[in-house]
Amino acid sequence: MMKDEGPFLIEWVAHHLVLGFTDLVVYTNDCSDGTDDMLIRLEELGLCHHRRNVIPEGLRPQPSALNHAQEEPVVCQSDWVMVFDADEFLSIPYGDGTLDGLIGAAKDLGANGIVVTWRIFGSGGVVDWSRAPVTEQYLLAAPQTWNKGWGVKTLFRFDPDHWKLGIHRPKMKTRWIKTDYPDQVKWLNGSGREMEDYFKFRGWRSITRTVGYDWVQLNHYAVKSVDSYAIRKMRGNVNNKKDKYNNDYWSLQDRNEVRDETMLRYKPQRDALIAQLLQDPVLNRLHFAAVDRAEARLAELRGTEAYHQLVTDLAQASQVPLSQIVAKPPVARDKEKIAALMSDVEKQRGLKARSERKEKLAEPKEPQPEGLYLPGPLDTDADLPMEYVANHQVQVPLDMRLFSPVAMPLIRKGKFQRILARKLPQIVPKGGKALFVGAAEGFLAVNLANTRGDATVVAQESEHSFRNVMLRLCSQSAREIGPRFQVLDAPVTQEAVVEWLRLHRPATLILSDPQLSPELLMSLLPALPLPGPAQILLTGRLVERWNGQLGPVAEMLVALGYRPDFDLPPTVALGFSAVPEPEPDDAPDA
């Protein structure tokens, strides 16, 4: 569905043809910039199908277009169908990046649908209008873990007899719900894992159990630059929603936390096809007429007070931290109403699924570390607007580029790593020195320094994504870097660790870097300079990475004169203290 998307249309068509879509059916309504004429020309060239969205009175444009598409022969004769908009571009990290490869992988798993989660792409700080491709201008996006951006669109095998098209997903027709047809439906998430049973019947968002981005995502460029937003705000939208393009909408959609360059894989083929399309004189004329019209409109807007106020307002809206974004549905979710509408089949399947999840949770399992950090590679270079929350003696950022969904609520509640945050200040000797190898974001190191003014802390972290956050955390927590709190950034090697211990002579050694494998530790520990640290703790990312494989390391520490100590959960830390030397016997009487 499109309305006045002329400047962006050629790129959108070229991109999806490169991906492997064989038929693009586009519905338009009330266009004033030649979008419909461009689509008519593209249809004449055999590259897409244009349909006018004749909207019955009382119906919104999108539902109207979907009703037309339900009966459209091109759609009905398609094998796989996906409904999406002009500001949405499909991106396929899987394989060679084509639809054939993606669908082939789904078929190999016996699937007939893929639920594709949105990835929200922001303005990237771009204010001025540009003719550069959307997919190359905007490369900053929300973190994959941000659930407010988890709306979905569905790529699926379409049978108009069984399915009614929908904006986010098709709806199974009522007459099939109580048959065996639901058992024939197998949809995957965006990482190739099977979706839960409930999604066969309802739902338009991913949840923590179902979200996935490894195979495919739908890049949603809802705002683009400030200038693009200004033009769109004055234009209206396909659903005629009043005041949709306000500051709150900008805050929600202008997410620039993580860089994602996946789209650049398509650039050579896409650029070649765009150049080929623009060789057509009619399409060339219509395209640049649409661009000229947008730029002329922008020139008018720039001369108004409203435009300058908008620029100011959006700059402020961009400062809202990700953790403070509120995304409310158009209509509040009514659980009782939903339950009343659910069929008996849905209810029974839902109850069965909940029961199975409870049984699985009840099964005895080996304790696992919490997993406080996202898997790498991580990018925290940009110093973004960020909400900080007091955890013990430290201000910790709610940074979704770094912390996992497990860690975020703990930080929010002030309970991040609280066991060690309490224990370390108790066990470091008075006036002692603590060396952290792999200090991560520095929370435990800074908390120790801020709690124990008599202690000296050395925090080593070679991963710059963590070190970036550590320096910001220090700034927010009034922790100066100097003789009493030192930061090291050298890489972790056996020789480096030995040298750090020789230079700093810590009483307490906290080993947290996941590069310290059991094999490396077995080689490192006997090589530590004597006298060794009075206390050694294995914790953090080291325990997460090597959980269940540290038994030989513990045995070696015992052989080296240490004993298990500090009564710490093994999923949090393994603690050891040096066994005191025995007192010498009194000398015998002369």
464 to each of 211, 236, 257, 378, 380, how far by Cα in Å? 28, 44, 16, 9, 8
Strands 217-220 and 88-91: antiparallel
What is the pLDDT at residue 334?
A: 60
Sign of the C-alpha dihedral computed for residues 557, 559, 560 and 562 taken in this order: positive
C-alpha span between 102 and 118 (Å, rounded)? 17
Q: How does the average pLDDT of the chain come out, rounded?
A: 92
For 471-479, what is the mean pLDDT? Answer: 97
Tokens 């045995």 belong to 555
Which has more confidence, 383 or 240? 383
3-state SS class at 157 = strand
pLDDT in tens, 246-276: 899 999 999 999 999 999 999 999 999 999 9
- Among residues 484, 491, 498, the alpha carbon closest in space to that of 450 is found at 484
Enclosing domain of residue 65: 6-324
Least-confidence region, from 95-99, 221-225, 235-239, 450-454:
235-239
Question: What is the per-residue pLDDT for 245?
Answer: 82
Residues written for the chain: 590
| In a shared domain, residues 172 and 135 | yes
How many CA atoms, within 13 angstroms, populate the side-chain half-sphere of residue 412?
A: 10
More confident residue, 168 or 367: 168
475 lies in the same domain as 514: yes
Residues 306, 419 within the same domain: no
Q: What are phi and psi of 316, to 5 degrees?
A: -70, -40
The stretch 429-455 carries a mean pLDDT of 97
CA distance 239 to 222: 14
pLDDT of residue 581: 72
Q: What is the pTM of this model?
A: 0.87
* Count of the separate structural domains present in the chain: 3
228 is a domain residue: yes
What are 534-572's pLDDT values in tens digits? 999 999 999 999 999 999 999 999 999 999 999 999 999
Q: What is the pLDDT of residue 116?
A: 99
Q: Say yes or no: 141 and 284 in one domain.
A: yes
Q: Is the pLDDT of residue 184 over 70?
A: yes
Domain boundary among 324, 350, 373: 324
Residue type, 149: G
99 and 238 assigned to the same domain: yes
Beta bridge partners of 172: 163
pLDDT at position 237 over 50: no
Measure the CA–CA gap between 169 and 206, rounded to whole angstroms. Answer: 12
Residues 53-81 have pLDDT tens digits of 999 999 999 999 999 999 999 999 999 99
Q: Quick one: 143 and 292 in the same domain?
A: yes
Mean pLDDT for 397-409 is: 95
Let me know whether 78 and 145 are in one domain. yes
**pLDDT tens figures, 357-369:** 666 666 655 555 7
Return the minimum-mean-pLDDT range out of 178-187, 326-335, 385-394: 326-335
Quote the pLDDT of residue 238: 43
Q: Are residues 23 and 93 in the same domain?
A: yes
Is there a domain that residue 139 lies in? yes
- On whether both 138 and 284 belong to a single domain, the answer is yes
